Structure 1
Amino acid sequence: MNSNSLWSLRLGFSNKQAPTIEKLGLKKFLEQSFQIPFDKSIPSLLDNSPKTYADLREQRQKAKDGNAEVKKLIQREGIQTNLEMKSWWIDKMLSDEFPLREKMVCFWHNHYVATYQKVKVNYWIFQHNQILREHAFGNFKELTKLMIQSNAIVRYLDNQDNKKDKINENLSRELLELFTIGIGNYTEEDIQNGAKGLAGLGLGEEKAVYRKSAMDNDPITYFGKKGVFKADEMVDIIFQQKNAPYFITRKILKWFIYDEPSEKLVTYYGDYLKSVNFEIKPFLTKIFTEEFEKNTAGSKIKNPLEYSLQLVSELNLDLKNNNFLAFFLKQQNMDLFNQPNVKGWDGGKSWLTSQIYLQRNNLAFLLTNGRVLNQRLMKDFSKADNPKLKEIQVNLEWKKTDNKQIIKELSDRLLFQVEDSTQKDLESILKYDFDVNSKNADQAVLRLFNTIIKLPEFQLI
């Protein structure tokens, strides 16, 4: 695979940025990716969603006073808005000129998990998403402070129920286990005392706030330090612990490059993260520019976003909305805003079970044939041949050369390697006497493309 194509996929969701990487060089490409502005406005899809406590109280009262149908309607409206929000986010991933920010938002989204299924307030989920977007390349420690004081996280991890003399340890535990230092690097006493420090941190208008009546202001011992510590001070103490830089380094390497990063590499980059005081921008720059020089293609299984968005981009599909992609991601166990548990998506080999591979091949068939995709089709693939289905225009770009050059062009941007046997198979599809000007030339190259994207090698980057 061409290195520019490889890193376009790794730093985004398609091959689209490969020419820009080649033109600018990776370092300048990263600089522009970091500087690109983002939309801070609230999307219109949230116009009718509760945004204040008054709105929430009004909606809850309506549900309480209404009959079963009213309650179902409110529930359906919330689910529909969440689907629209998924589609809105996928559109940003597809359309951004420099999609690294959205790739990083998705990483943080799976690190600081807060699901709509549990939170049930779309606006809080949107706020959570926007905090990640604004601070995607910022400081890991400061982002952690913002996250544990967001309404979405507080609601998801039940900290509104954490009060003096009635302690709930959920947020305190996950702050250590999943957000910062990992299992084996803290004690149960740290969790218990941390929960006391977080007692009273409840839901607020724009972010979580401490409520005096529920706070526990007794001194605690936290990682050997004694005092009255609240959220910010606790995070400062956590980030003084030995494993703080290495825990997140391993996860970032897994997200972007290696399903199984070596401990040597984790230590090397973790040491650097510590030296720059947990600043993400220089940290990513160092990782990407150094790993770009290595032959690392094929070291990571594509997640469902990388797989599906690459296909949409390669085929230049003009989609009216992205709901079908959101449904496909849900099928593939990568449901945006709704991870299966607080640990998030496992990634790695979990992205390539036999069922997931079959679903991917089904999607590939439908997209290359320009079929309209919906839940009915994705659930029952046999309906894909229904002649009444509306079609979408497919436009695969390829240069009019000879068969071997066309195969090489597609292989360079789609496959991390091509074995001799694979090359022969591809040449049997697009034969030596292939006429680039024939009436069915586009269909022939599309058949070649369809074969390539169903190869095991296409699943890797």
Structure 2
Amino acid sequence: MRLRSLRDDPRQAWAPFQASESDPWDLDRVAHLHRRAGFSPSWQVLQRDLADGPGPSIDRLLRGETEALDGTPAASFEGLMDAMARGPGASAGAAGLQAAWLYRMIHTPFPLRERLTLFWHDHFATSIEKVNDPALMRQQNDLLRRHALGSFSEMLRAMARDPAMLIWLDATASKREHPNENYAREVMELFTLGRGNYGEGDVQEAARAFTGTFVVQGRYRHNPREFDSAEKTILGQTGSFDGDAVASILLDQPACARFLCRKLFALLVSEVDEPPDPLIEPLAEAYRRSGYDTRVPVAMILRSRLFFDRSSRRRRVKSPVEFAVGTIRALEVIAPTVSTNELADACSRMGQRLFAPPSVAGWDGGPTWINTTTSLARTNAALSLLNDRRRFDPEALASRHGRGEGPAAFYIDLLVQDAFSPEVRERIEGPAREVATLVLTAPESQLA
């Protein structure tokens, strides 16, 4: 049953994947799982999860590994990364924050959580270019990570008090006599409901509910004297609502869970196939029933027949950060790893400057990641890594993990698996560095 028929049958689409002789748990499916639910994995991880099967492999992504890639215990690693972001990261401005986050993504024992933190960074897009305060941007990043696989309800309520977000949306002084509509508008259009599911009157009334909101010396403050306590009518409900009440009203709208699940579908299943409403509804219903626990729809997708269907593969273009971090993790460039300051610059040249999305709508993503300029930047980034003889030895990696079939088979299986046809596979040969370069710079390597 291929993608089209699964799309037309939600019950079958979201049923758990069961490996069989005709649909085996193979290297292609293991690699697909990691590309979507984290970053491209090392050969050791591919082989481990191939042996363990889908259940344990997905469970491990949801809960995280016990150790970071550098061998640090997971809890200790998180503490070290928090300290790095608070200290050297924030003190070095935007560049330091970018470098610290990239280092965390490269080594993390929680690749799914970091991948979703990146997703929410795009969803609640906020730029340091305007906020101009690394400490506030770091605090927002912590907030996104804390709730990345947890409560969207709590994250939404916290975002209404997040100083970086309020500065970004010019919502640092919303007074009763002059309500600021920016946050009220974006929370409906971009964060919860999407266009067409609210009216201008709803925005104006919600703006009154967010009055009394101030940012003073980088901290959120609520001034009761500037709060409009009179009745408001928002999406058909009337009361003397405040910001928390608005969040509850938005979360109660059926459109909210559907809107969010469509974005999760684009992230995890396909950004080029528009899912019909009946296909999204089971995800949205499960999300609502869970009280907006993001782990619920994510796990439902990752365990599903639709997710593992062959025709769901490579239906997304890797973002620059996905491409860069995944390549480093797959090629085991860990000790020593690359300069993450240089990597941040490379990601910017590829079109994704962390902590600086281009607008309140985030990055356009999809095919827009690939153009003449950014394609050249991707190739240059790959070549820079592959030609760094201090950090990467392609012959040694292939010899350590190869199965006697030569470097071509190894690097194809590691980096693109079934993306190459048998005819293409047969034509690729040569020294390990040459083969790795050819595979990594192929168009197929840009797809998730």
> Per the shorter chain, which TM-score range?
0.7 to 0.9
Note the C-alpha offset of 1:212. 2.0
Out of 207, 210, 222, the residue aligned to residue 210 of structure 1 is 222
What residue number does 1:412 align with? Answer: 413
Shift in CA distance, 451/48, structure 1 to aligned 2, threshold 3 Å: closer
1:332 aligns with 2:350: yes
Does residue 294 of the first structure (1) align with residue 295 of the second (2)? Answer: no
- Shift of the alpha carbon at 1:184? 0.5
Residue 448 (structure 2) pairs with residue 447 (structure 1): no
Q: Specify the alignment match of 2:290 in structure 1.
A: 276
Letter in 1 for 2:444: E
Residues 46 and 123 in structure 1, CA contact (< 8 A), matched pair in contact too = yes
1:15 equivalent to 2:41? Answer yes
Aligned AA for 2:408? I
State the AA in 1 paired with 2:46: A
Q: 1:174-223: per-residue Cα shift (whole Å, max 9, x none)?
A: 00000001000000000001111101112267862321232222211111
Match of 2:370 among 331, 338, 352: 352
Q: What are the equivalent positions in structure 2 for 1:51-70 lying under 5 Å apart?
A: none
Deviates more, 1:16-25 or 1:277-286: 16-25
> Any residues of structure 2 matched to 1:75-90 within 5 Å, and which?
80-90=92-102
TM-score by length of 1: 0.80
Letter of the structure 1 residue corresponding to residue 447 of structure 2: L
Q: In structure 2, what is the Cα distance between the partners aligned to 1:44 and 1:310?
A: 22
- Preserved contact between residue 286 and residue 296 of structure 2 (Cα < 8 Å): no
The verdict on how the C-alpha distance between 1:278 and 1:6 changes in structure 2, with shifts beyond 3 A counting, is same
By how many angstroms is 1:398 displaced? 1.4
* Match for residue 367 of structure 1 among 385, 390, 394: 385
* Distance across 2 between alignment mates of 1:181 and 1:358: 37
Q: Which secondary structure does the structure 2 equivalent of 1:203 belong to?
A: strand
| 1:237 maps to which of 249, 252, 255 | 249
The residue that corresponds to 1:219 in the other structure is 231
- Quick one: distance in 2 between partners of 1:47 and 1:337? 17
Please name the residue that 1:379 is paired with.
none
Mapped partners of 2:217, 2:356: distance in 1: 23
CA RMSD of aligned residues (A): 2.4
Give the residue type in structure 2 aligned to 1:275.
Answer: R
Structure 2, gaps ≥5 residues long: 1-26, 65-73
> How far off its partner does 1:114 sit?
1.7
CA contact (8 A) 2:213 2:223 kept: yes
Secondary structure of the 2:40 match is coil
Range 134-143 or range 12-21, more displaced: 12-21
Larger radius of gyration: 1
Of the candidates 390, 393, 412, which is equivalent to residue 391 of structure 2?
Answer: 393
Identical aligned pairs, as a percentage?
Answer: 23
Check whether the contact 1:111–1:344 (CA below 8 A) recurs between aligned residues.
yes
Shift of the alpha carbon at 1:406?
A: 4.0
How many angstroms apart in 2 are the aligned matches of 1:206 and 1:20?
46
Aligned twin of 2:163: 151
Residue in 2 that maps onto 1:43? 83
Distance 1:401 1:141, change over 3 A: closer
Q: Distance in 2 between matches of 1:47 and 1:365?
A: 32
Structure 2 counterpart of 1:288, one-letter code: L
Q: 1:329, 1:139 → 2: CA distance?
A: 30
- SS across alignment from 1:2: helix
Residue equivalent to 1:175: 187
Q: Are residues 1:342 and 2:385 paired?
A: no
Secondary structure in 1 matching 2:233: strand
Q: Distance in 2 between matches of 1:125 and 1:139?
A: 20
**Counterpart-to-counterpart distance in 1, 2:195 and 2:425:** 46
- Counterpart in 1 of 2:32? 6
Of 315, 318, 332, 2:331 maps to: 315
Contact 1:46–1:81 (CA<8 Å) still a contact in 2?
no
Partner in structure 2 of residue 67 of structure 1: none
Whether the 8 Å CA contact 1:40–1:130 is kept in 2: the answer is no
Report if aligned partners of 1:159, 1:199 keep a CA contact under 8 Å in 2: no
Structure 1 range deviating more: 316-325 or 144-153? 316-325
**Counterpart amino acid of residue 7 in structure 1:** L
Report the counterpart of residue 99 of structure 1 in structure 2: 111
What is the SS of the residue equivalent to 1:273? helix
Q: Distance between the aligned counterparts of 2:419 and 2:338, measured in 1?
A: 34
Task: Output aligned runs, 1:420-459, within 5 Å.
Answer: 420-426=422-428, 429-430=429-430, 444-459=431-446
Partner secondary structure for residue 317 of structure 2 = coil
Between 1 and 2, higher relative CO (CA 8 Å, sep ≥ 6) is seen in 2
Rounded Cα–Cα distance in structure 2 between residues aligned with 1:265 and 1:447: 44
**Counterpart of 2:172 in 1: which secondary structure?**
helix
Name the CA distance, whole Å, in 2 between partners of 1:27 and 1:217.
Answer: 51
TM-superposed deviation, 1:27: 3.4
C-alpha change, 1:279 and 1:204, in structure 2 (3 Å) is farther
